[in-house]
């Protein structure tokens, strides 16, 4: 696996790869890799001839209240894990490589970036769309793989790619979970054993909502939100940012729940903010 830090070097490499008629897949990450990221890399390997993983802690997607300097950085371990998978190139740029002096062009994210995560983190998706578009361009990616765990992020990126005619296919891979059901996240390392135990209520509540929606179609959405909140608060989770049933594409809240539907949750457990979701397809 080649490790490159300069855009220019990546450009040269991908031109050669394309010239040989190969398809390129990219998996953008912010490092602190776990099995969830690696499952995206594995998926990418099945979709293209040449896999690029990027590791860049993107400063522009952190809001002023979030501490960029505290984001976990485990570069050596990350590269070691990528070496064990079918990754051809790891792109690990510094801040100045992505945002050189004079950089001033940003992607204005789509409407669907305003609600949910966008409410508590107003400038977050502007940073995400900007860096993702740059990474897709740098990698000249035919396909890019993102995780379903960041449901709104995936929807925002899909919309951006469609709206801006970016010639890259977006694949959203299923949520990777620990055996106890907790969605894998680089933030899980901050959970105390007690917090972790509480956090299991997130998945439990999503599964309860799934059963309820499938058993009694056409329920008011408020009822599902209440079911989620009851399960979360019973486990001692008091800070709930949102627990909602929305249309999976527009992310508009549903008044009456009909499939397809995405159930989205964001909570704080101890000092750690966690998100998770469950997608129920039409005709399940
Ligand atoms: O999901 C992430 O880790 C980041 O938001 C992404 C897509 C790598 C952009 O910085």
Residue 57 DSSP code: -
| Whether the Cβ atoms of residue 189 and residue 272 lie closer than 8 Å to each other | no
- The pLDDT of residue 5 is 98
Q: Which residues line ligand 1 (CB under 6 A)?
A: 28-30, 58, 61, 128, 131-132, 150, 153
Rounded distance between C-alpha atoms, residue 66 and residue 68, angstroms: 6
CA distance from start to end of the chain: 41
Q: 């220019």: which residue's tokens?
A: 8
Calpha distance 190→196 (Å, rounded): 9
The preferred substitution site among 153, 158, 185 for testing ligand 1, maximizing ligand atoms within 8 Å of CB, is 153
In this structure, are residues 58 and 131 in contact, taking their beta carbons and an 8 Å threshold?
A: yes
CB-CB contact of 208 with 224 (8 Å):
no
User: How much is the pTM?
Assistant: 0.97
Residue range 172-229, pLDDT digits in tens: 999 999 999 999 999 999 999 999 999 999 999 999 999 999 999 999 999 999 999 9
Helix (H, G, I), strand (E, B) or coil at 43: helix
Q: Determine the pLDDT at residue 65.
A: 87
């Amino acid at each position: 696996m080649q490790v490159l830090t300069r855009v220019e070097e990546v450009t040269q490499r991908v031109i050669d790869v394309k010239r040989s008629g190969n398809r390129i897949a990219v998996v953008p990450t912010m490092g602190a890799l776990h099995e969830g990221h690696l499952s995206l890399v594995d998926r990418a390997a099945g979709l293209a001839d040449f896999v690029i993983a990027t590791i860049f802690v993107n400063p522009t997607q952190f809001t002023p209240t979030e501490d960029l300097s505290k984001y976990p950085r485990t570069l050596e371990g990350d590269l070691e894990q990528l070496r064990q998978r079918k990754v051809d190139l790891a792109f690990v740029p510094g801040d100045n490589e992505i945002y050189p002096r004079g950089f001033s062009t940003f992607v204005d994210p789509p409407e669907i970036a305003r609600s949910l995560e966008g409410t508590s983190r107003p400038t977050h998706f502007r940073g995400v769309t900007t860096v993702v578009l740059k990474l897709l361009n740098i990698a000249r990616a035919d396909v890019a793989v993102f995780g379903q765990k960041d449901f709104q992020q995936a929807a925002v990126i899909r919309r951006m790619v469609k709206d801006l005619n970016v010639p890259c296919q977006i694949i959203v891979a299923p949520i990777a979970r620990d055996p106890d059901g907790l969605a894998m996240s680089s933030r899980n390392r901050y959970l105390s054993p007690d917090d972790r135990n509480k956090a299991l209520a997130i998945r439990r509540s999503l599964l309860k909502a799934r059963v309820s929606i499938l058993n009694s179609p056409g329920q008011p959405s408020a009822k599902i939100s209440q079911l989620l909140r009851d399960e979360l608060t019973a486990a001692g989770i008091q800070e709930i940012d949102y627990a909602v049933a929305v249309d999976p594409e527009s992310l508009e809240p549903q008044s009456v729940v009909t499939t397809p539907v995405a159930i989205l949750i964001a909570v704080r457990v101890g000092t750690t903010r966690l998100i998770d979701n469950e997608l129920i397809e039409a005709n399940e």
